[in-house]
Amino acid sequence: MSVLLRRRVWIPIVLLAVLAPAMYSWTSMAVLPSSLPLGVRTVEWLRTNHFNWLVDGAEHVYYTWNAPKKGGPQLRKLPAVGLAAGPARTNRRSHPKRTPPWPPPIRPIFANPLPSEGAWKPSGPALDGSAPVLLTTFRTERAYPRIVAYVAWFDHTRTELAYYPGRYEPPRATLRGSAEVPHDQRWRLLATFNSGFIYQDGLNGDTLNGHVNEPLKQGLATLIAYKNGRVNIVGWNRGPAPGPAVAWARQSLPLIIDHGRLSPKLNDSSAWGYTLGNAVRVWRTGVGVDRRGNIVYAAADYQTVTTLARILQRAGAVRAMELDINPEWPTLITYRHHNGLLPSRVVPNYQQPTTRYLVPDDRDFFAVYRRVSGPVDVPLK
């Protein structure tokens, strides 16, 4: 047998031997049940199998190439969110003893605001005389007049915030459950939204019902719910496990807003995304708490972590944290309960259906419920 012929025989054999473990790993991933398209799962598989450098490089090239251009034509109208019926309310009480004040409208930064820009609208029927979930949209920066933020406000006195592990995230969840909104709780479901970075990308801690899934880490922003119904966002400065008063906790990177001010560390790109950091403008999501203890969720395309923090600050957040980023993950869905749940996708993510979280999902998430255990009114100091 000639040398050339031997090479032709052995080269494919060597290549097959080298690629066989990767092929087996990818095939094992592909046949697992999942809520995600195979293309998205393949990208995630590359990230977790030593090819994050390849995905990172490709995303940097793509997002740099598709970065928004400054200026350009103005929008003529904003995306419609919430219920169209009835005028948007301002910060007034319809019944001082029963309903808390709505948040003030978000002041537009453009000289000529668009109709309803920054005005809050209810996402469903009133509860005790007022809507417990409000939505709004507004333009984020004068230099980019076509970028829109989607923001939700959840009244902490009439809602409960729940945390659910997904099918695979967090990786060591003790009480994983069904990875979807429980069927026996859907009658009071008001909204759902995405959680934070996966554990591998952020090394974020989380706990649920006294079980530590991933140890809590000092210095990370922590969305935390207490057993008395209060919800808060804090910079964690304790040990790996919370105390007995905590119902659940979920961490995601350091605080981006603290005491109403943007964190001075926001320009440190290494802290704000394992793959993209703060170097490029992408879809970003975040959650904050206002001075009354209400929760504010925000999502917008073409954001750095700094501009995301400004969106949450404009919406009244005194403390805030970044949640998941990139176009696959932003999810905010509201439910109206008229002859069924009637889910409505607020954030325009074509990669996620309106039924997300009503069927098993790969990642952890949050659900907002109508409160049934009585109001909780604990203003933040």
pLDDT digits (tens, 9 = 90+) for 298-329: 999 999 999 999 999 999 999 999 999 999 99
Question: Model pTM greater than 0.85?
Answer: yes
pLDDT at 339: 75
pLDDT digits (tens, 9 = 90+) for 73-122: 889 999 999 886 444 444 444 444 455 678 999 999 999 999 999 999 99
Low-confidence ranges of the chain (pLDDT < 50): 85-97, 375-381
Q: What is the pLDDT of residue 94?
A: 42
* Per-residue H/E/C for the chain: CCHHHHHHHHHHHHHHHHHHHHHHHHHHHHCCCCCCCHHHHHHHHHHHCCCHHHHHHHHHHHHHHCCCCCCCCCCCCCCCCCCCCCCCCCCCCCCCCCCCCCCCCCCCCCCCCCCCCCCCEECCCCECCECCEEEEEEEEECCEEEEEEEEEEECCCCEEEEEECCCCCCCCCCCCCCCCCCHHHHHHEEEEEECCCCHHHHCCCEEECCEEEECCCCCCEEEEEECCCCEEEEECCCCCCCCCCEEEEEECCCEEEECCEECCCCCCHHHCCCCCCCCCCEEEEEEEEECCCCEEEEEEEEECHHHHHHHHHHCCEEEEEEEEECCCCCCEEEECCCCCCCEEECCCCCCCCCCECCECCCCCEEEEEECCCCCCCCCCC
